[in-house]
Structure 1
Amino acid sequence: MSLQSIGPVLLVGAGKMGGAMLEGWIDRGLPAEQICVLEPNAAAELRATASGQGLRLNPEKPNAPPPKVVVLAVKPQVMDDVLQDVVRYVPEDAVVLSIAAGKTIANIAAHLPKGQPIIRTIPNTPAAIGRGITVCVANGVVSDEQREAAGELLSACGEVAWIEDEGLMDAVTAVSGSGPAYVFLLAESLADAGVAAGLSPELARRLALATVSGAGELLRASGLEPDVLRKNVTSPGGTTEAALKVLMAPGAIPDLMREGVAAATRRGKELAD
């Protein structure tokens, strides 16, 4: 299935994540005239796209032809209210794809006709630059074709993975959804450590940011496992080994990361209750 053959698509919410998805779809060839966007606070760029490329923005009546895919890209706290307004735009055979964190399939289904195909997803913030990863789980009535269409739309923002157990979504959120914040903390802490070692704040920040982003790119491009790359940098008796003895000691980074992910997973379950 090609992206060009998926439409019509209804996008509900065109903020940072929704806007990034929309930009990716159009860049990859989904015709703008096949897209309808519901966004009450439309940015000037979105209005320009609507007027210049034929994208339909905030139609007064449900769009025709009806959408095959409805993407819900609104904040979780407004999802219930939004669904009450949007349900009139949603055909019973359209697949509803949600990127709202913490909103379960059951939460979404409660506002839609019985038997509505629904896919719940967890993207992460690198999706804004096309380098994210989105994990998806579908209810039992989503067809193979609808899975494929959802995968094509989501791949505009990066990698896509599927799970069959919705109960794992809290762990997914703890690893990939919250994970960018852990990496940003690493860059922040590395810069602070450089300052403590005598570097100027400007140089320490520059070194930390370039090192973290460069190491991430090397990890992606090399195809090697993280432990292999780590060992490749570590010379016996050298400076890296001296630091890693501290960072990998009992109670240090590996243990703290497990504890942090476990805490995020628990909190995700609490928020879903």
Structure 2
Amino acid sequence: MLTNKQIGFIGGGAMAEALIRGILHAGLVMPSQIAVNDVSTERLGYLRGTFTVSTTLDSQEIARQSDILFLTVKPQVINGVIDTIAPVVAKTTVVVSVAAGVTIAAFQGKMPGVPIIRVMPNTPVAVGEGMSAMALGKYATTAVSEPVAEVFASVGKVVTVNEDTMDAVTGLSGSGPAYAFVLIDALTDAGVRVGFSRQTAVLLAAQTLMGAAKMVLETGEHPAKLRDMVTSPGGTAITGVHVLEQNGVRAALIDAVVAATNRSREMGRR
């Protein structure tokens, strides 16, 4: 679906790098079909040397030549980017924003008729295991969105959601890696407490969580059923689960997602 498409990135940071790596690794396009804009010549030099993509300091040049234009910049600079590129973006260009909290309406008001797609990816896209949620603007048809979904699928999983759930996406999958890192860190400390070296403990903890997540995704079974498969009567796992329930770990995780969702809503109203 990306054959003969020109892909542009305004913003050459970690997100752009992850997407470029995923696109090229999956063989979706050739390096010659990718161009990147950034304010840092050093960063552009790194991307050009690493991926042999073309680079430029001129964001309007990228906007003019791209069939799919990724805006991979921080939310605090997105308004300036929109103002700069809006006069030159064609109605055939698909504009994809990963700027948290910036609504489709903010783009559509300055780029009427242009297909806009808002995406919330999370940081594991850097290792090809991200979770991305896409919300489609008024002019972003299925035919328009499928190539974009293909790009994000190259760095993990992708789902399409209504834009009004984007704050919830931020609270769950966007902020979710932070919760997972807390769990891994806590399990690592537990491993050290029961006698392992920290290096061994972090490996045991991280691989265990990764394996459990993979079982959920690949078997399609409910997590509770998989838990029941581990918890034999009177055994060690059910004893541990009992302690987690006594200490409100499940409720704490639910509360964390709700609090992060509400915080995302607050930030979006600024």
Same fold (TM over 0.5): yes
Please state how far the C-alpha of 1:56 moved relative to its aligned partner: 2.5
Tell me, in whole angstroms, the C-alpha distance in 1 between the residues paired with 2:203 and 2:142. Answer: 47
**Which shows bigger deviation, 214-223 or 234-243?**
214-223
Please state how far the C-alpha of 1:73 moved relative to its aligned partner: 0.7
Please state how far the C-alpha of 1:59 moved relative to its aligned partner: 6.0
In structure 2, the partner of 1:117 is 115
Please state how far the C-alpha of 1:88 moved relative to its aligned partner: 4.5
Tell me, in whole angstroms, the C-alpha distance in 1 between the residues paired with 2:159 and 2:91. Answer: 26
Amino acid in structure 2 at the alignment position of 1:128: A
In structure 1, the partner of 2:260 is 264
Q: Secondary structure at the match of 1:57?
A: strand
Q: 1:65 to 1:196 in 2, by over 3 A?
A: closer
2:70 paired with 1:74: no
Amino acid in structure 1 at the alignment position of 2:23: W
Q: Over residues 35-94 of structure 1, what are the superposed CA-to-partner deviations in whole Å (9 max), with x where a residue is unaligned? A: 2211232254412257xx4x3311656259732211111111221122233335521331
Q: Secondary structure at the match of 2:217?
A: helix
* Structure 2 unpaired stretches of 5+: none
User: TM-score under structure 1 normalisation?
Assistant: 0.88
Contact kept, 8 Å, 1:109 with 1:118, in 2: the verdict is yes
Please state how far the C-alpha of 1:186 moved relative to its aligned partner: 0.6
Tell me, in whole angstroms, the C-alpha distance in 2 between the residues paired with 1:194 and 1:58. Answer: 49
Q: 1:143 to 1:209 in 2, by over 3 A?
A: closer
Contact kept, 8 Å, 1:62 with 1:88, in 2: the verdict is no
Q: Secondary structure at the match of 2:209?
A: helix
Tell me, in whole angstroms, the C-alpha distance in 2 between the residues paired with 1:100 and 1:14. Answer: 13
Q: Over residues 118-164 of structure 1, what are the superposed CA-to-partner deviations in whole Å (9 max), with x where a residue is unaligned? A: 1111111111122112111111122232112211222221221111x
In structure 2, the partner of 1:255 is 251
In the TM superposition, 1:1-273 aligns within 5 A as: 2-5=1-4, 7-27=5-25, 28-41=27-40, 42-48=43-49, 53=52, 55-58=53-56, 60=58, 62=61, 66-110=65-109, 112-163=110-161, 165-249=162-246, 252-273=248-269
Contact kept, 8 Å, 1:95 with 1:116, in 2: the verdict is yes
Tell me, in whole angstroms, the C-alpha distance in 1 between the residues paired with 2:199 and 2:23. Answer: 38
**Which shows bigger deviation, 28-37 or 203-212?**
203-212
Percent identity reads 35
Contact kept, 8 Å, 2:68 with 2:93, in 1: the verdict is yes
CA RMSD after TM alignment: 2.2
Q: 1:256 to 1:88 in 2, by over 3 A?
A: same
Contact kept, 8 Å, 2:38 with 2:57, in 1: the verdict is no
Q: Secondary structure at the match of 1:121?
A: strand
Amino acid in structure 1 at the alignment position of 2:105: A
Amino acid in structure 2 at the alignment position of 1:91: A
Amino acid in structure 2 at the alignment position of 1:98: S
Q: Over residues 155-202 of structure 1, what are the superposed CA-to-partner deviations in whole Å (9 max), with x where a residue is unaligned? A: 221221111x31111111111111111111111111122333444434
Contact kept, 8 Å, 1:66 with 1:91, in 2: the verdict is no
Instruction: State how many pairs are aligned.
Output: 265
Q: Secondary structure at the match of 1:114?
A: coil
Tell me, in whole angstroms, the C-alpha distance in 2 between the residues paired with 1:151 and 1:265. Answer: 24
Amino acid in structure 2 at the alignment position of 1:270: E
Tell me, in whole angstroms, the C-alpha distance in 2 between the residues paired with 1:46 and 1:72. Answer: 16
Contact kept, 8 Å, 2:7 with 2:66, in 1: the verdict is yes
Amino acid in structure 2 at the alignment position of 1:46: L
Contact kept, 8 Å, 2:37 with 2:44, in 1: the verdict is no
Contact kept, 8 Å, 2:10 with 2:72, in 1: the verdict is yes
Q: 1:10 to 1:123 in 2, by over 3 A?
A: same
